[in-house]
């Protein structure tokens, strides 16, 4: 049996720009985040899903970007209107969202959410 290697803790730097003071998820509409530095970000549900940071979605977005296609289709079951079914904190650094299209492997770090904020 091979020895178990220790798994390092992921501790991203904590800054006022990437520390939320309030998260408000309206499951079929938007995610609102108030940040410690006083700014507020609002993300539509469709935008959040389209920007899923999982490896599969990132690869698909890159492939579509290289093809210069205007229609972007992400993996999942699209038979129902898109909604966030649930969300949970991942440590103190991220949010994981389960989507109505049966996708839920993306972990949205607060750094990433701040980077994609339109505000």
| Number of domains observed in the structure of the chain | 1
pLDDT at 35: 97
Q: Which residues contact 38 (CB under 8 A, 6 or more apart)?
A: none
Q: Is 45 part of any domain?
A: yes
End-to-end CA distance of the chain, in Å?
52
Residue 54 belongs to a domain? yes
List the domain range (segments joined by +) for residue 24: 16-74+83-115
pLDDT at 65: 83
Q: The CATH number of the domain where 102 resides is what?
A: 3.30.2020.30
Residue 7 lies in a domain: no
pLDDT at 81: 87
Report the mean per-residue pLDDT for the chain: 86
Mention every residue, 6+ apart, whose C-beta is less than 8 A from residue 52.
Answer: 58, 74, 103, 106
Tens-place pLDDT, residues 29-53? 999 999 999 999 999 999 999 999 9
The residue written with tokens 């970007």 in the block is 65
The length of the chain in residues reads: 119
**Beta strand pairing call for 30-35 and 94-99:** unpaired
**3-20: average pLDDT:** 71
Query: What is the tens place of the pLDDT at every residue in 63-76?
Result: 888 887 665 555 55
Residue 22 lies in a domain: yes
| Residue 35 β-bridge partners | 20
């Amino acid at each position: 049996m091979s020895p178990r290697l220790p798994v390092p803790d992921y501790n991203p730097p904590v800054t006022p720009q990437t520390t939320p003071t309030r998260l408000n998820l309206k499951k079929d509409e938007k995610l609102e985040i108030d940040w410690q530095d006083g700014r507020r970000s609002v993300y539509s549900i469709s935008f959040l899903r389209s920007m899923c940071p999982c490896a599969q979605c990132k690869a698909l977005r890159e492939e579509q970007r290289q093809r210069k296609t205007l229609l972007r289709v992400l993996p999942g079951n699209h038979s129902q209107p898109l909604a966030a079914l649930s969300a949970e904190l991942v440590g103190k650094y991220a949010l994981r969202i389960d989507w109505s299209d049966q996708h839920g492997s993306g972990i949205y770090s607060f750094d990433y959410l701040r980077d994609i904020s339109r505000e």
